[in-house]
Amino acid sequence: MTTIHKKKILPFPQLDEAGFLALRWHIEEHPDTPQSKSVERILELLRHLRNGGDELSKAEQLRFTTELRNRVSTYRWVRRVSYTSKGLWASVVPADIEKLLPEDRWEYGAVGDLLDMLQFHGGFSRIGRCADTRCGRWFYAINRSDQKFCSLACKQHHYDSNPERRKQKQAYMREHYWEQKRRAQRADERFKKKTRRSQKTSR
């Protein structure tokens, strides 16, 4: 039997996983443009300030919030009303949208999506950056807001490459090995005793 998942209708537009992956794809395809760098810096600031920035000092909170505010204030938006097949529609669009270059339109779209997320979902807990140092990729956490890695492979690599963890793992494996070996020996002895007893009784 197939289960039909009804698509949840959200009260506000929101950057979902697919939207976020498209944003990340664009940054990864054009990592050196000023537009990608601006969006990435805003992502970084929002990540620092996620969950109210409660892991930061007061000075850091203020510094990041000020930088975010300054960056956001450089974008100019206007409200526009248009008539569509479904009736009147109001939206927020970049000022002088017609004059913007495609790359600037993308930047406005990406920043607008991130700010909508902040406005309507108060916080930024779904977007993180992979804690594995060889990776550092942005990710969208589907299930857990405290997710630290972009993939299981990165999680494993991070733990395996930590010298302290590696020592712990090796010690555990050694302990486990001797434990297993002792258990096997004991089982073997029990089995031998049992067979000796049954041989005696059967005589």
Contacts with Zn ion by CB under 5 A: the residue count is 6
Q: Which is nearer to Zn ion, 71 or 137 (CB)?
A: 137
Tokens of 36: 């990608």
Q: Which is nearer to Zn ion, 124 or 149 (CB)?
A: 149
Half-sphere exposure of 82 (CA within 13 A, CB side): 8
d(CA 198, CA 6): 65
The answer to whether residues 12 and 92 touch, using CB atoms and an 8 Å cutoff, is: no
Q: Name the minimum Å distance from CB 119 to Zn ion.
A: 29
Residue that the structure tokens 């938006």 belong to: 77
d(CA 184, CA 31): 56
Residue window 146-185: x/- pattern of binding to Zn ion, with contact defined by CB under 5 A: ----x---x-------------------------------
Please provide the DSSP assignment of 90-158 as one string.
EEEEETTGGGS-HHHHHHHHHHHHHHHHHHHHSS-TTEEE--STTT--EEE-SS-TT---SSHHHHHHH
Q: Name the minimum Å distance from CB 147 to Zn ion.
A: 11
**Closest CA relative to residue 126, chosen from 46, 26, 27:** 46
- Position among 22, 56, 93, 135 found at the interface with Zn ion (CB under 5 A): 135
Q: Name the minimum Å distance from CB 61 to Zn ion.
A: 27
- Binding status of residue 127 toward Zn ion by CB under 5 A: no
Q: Name the minimum Å distance from CB 143 to Zn ion.
A: 16
Q: Which range, of 3-11, 30-38, 99-107, 122-130, touches Zn ion by CB under 5 A?
A: 122-130
* Positions in the binding site for Zn ion (CB under 5 A): 130, 132, 135, 137, 150, 154
